[in-house]
Amino acid sequence: MIEPSQLDAQIINDVADALIYSDRSGTITRWNRASTALFGFTADEALGQNLDLIIPEHLRAAHWKGFDAALASGTMKLAGKPTLTRALHKSGRKLYIEMTFALVRDNDGAVQGSVAMARDVTERVERERAAKAAQNS
Question: Please, how many CA atoms are within 13 Å of residue 136, restricted to the half-sphere of its CB?
Answer: 6
Identify any residues that bridge with 98 across adjacent strands, giving them in sequence order: 84, 119
Each domain of the chain, given as residue ranges in start order, spans 4-136
Q: What was the pLDDT predicted at 95?
A: 95
**pLDDT above 90: percentage of residues in the chain:** 74
User: Across the chain, what does the average pLDDT equal?
Assistant: 92
Q: What was the pLDDT predicted at 2?
A: 78
CA distance 4 to 63: 34
Report DSSP letters for 94-125, one per residue: EEEEEEEEEEEE-TTS-EEEEEEEEEE-HHHH
One-letter amino acid of 7: L
Residue pair 122/96 in contact by the 8 Å Cβ criterion: yes
**Number of neighbours of residue 126 by Cβ within 10 angstroms:** 11
> What's the fold here for domain 4-136?
Beta-Lactamase (3.30.450)
Give pLDDT tens digits for 21-48: 999 999 999 999 999 999 999 999 999 9
What is the model's pTM? 0.88
Q: What was the pLDDT predicted at 123?
A: 92
In the predicted model, is pLDDT for residue 98 greater than 90?
yes
